[in-house]
Amino acid sequence: MAGSEELKLLGWWAPGVSPFVLRAQMALAVKGLSYEYLPEDRGCKSDLLIASNPVYKKVPVLIHDGRPVCESLLILEYLDDAPGLAGNGTSILPTDPYSRAVARFWAAYVNGKLFPSCIGILKTAKQEERAGKVEETLSGLRHLEGVLAECSKGEAEAEAPFFGGDTIGFLDIALGCYLPPLPS
């Protein structure tokens, strides 16, 4: 396991505030990597955050041996690719190049299309516009349902519980960070 002095994660001070920070935390947990969590205040961003992500000035930022990695999906890929970060040896991305490309495509779809339509439901005041966002969201979820059936072949070629088959992977984390917390 990586020592906490090697990995730091900049996130918001309140747990569950950012699905993007949660995404990075989920990946670190799946990989079995320890890290130091450095909470940020939205109203007063630290010098470390501004220096680590000078373009967007937002979390999450993973700092590995003093080098920042920004954007949650890129952090997931980095955790799989970085030398010395094997953790428990679990891969987040599929090993097959085509499956990796498919997982990346659908994760970008979740970020760029599905999540914004879900947020649109909450932000839209007019009933007619809200109904359109609901239909857009349901359509997106139907697409993902088909993807789950196609991508979730387990060892026995039967449907498995995750997009990556028998284990949690890239697309599961990309989508799972948006799910509401479940009661224990």
**Which fold is adopted by the domain 7-81?**
Glutaredoxin (3.40.30)
| Global pTM value | 0.84
Calculate mean pLDDT across residues 87-107. Answer: 90
Per-residue confidence (pLDDT) for residue 79, from 0 to 100: 96
In sequence order, the 6+-apart residues with CB closer than 8 A to the CB of 78 are 62, 64, 69
Domain boundaries, the chain: 7-81, 97-176
Q: What is the CATH number of domain 97-176?
A: 1.20.1050.10
Q: What confidence tens digit (pLDDT) does each residue in 114-132 have?
A: 888 888 888 887 888 888 8
- Residue 59: exposure state from Cβ atoms within 10 A (0-12, 13-18, ≥19): buried
**Do the domains 7-81 and 97-176 sit in the same CATH topology, yes or no?**
no
Q: Which tens digit of pLDDT belongs to each residue from 52-65?
A: 999 999 999 999 99
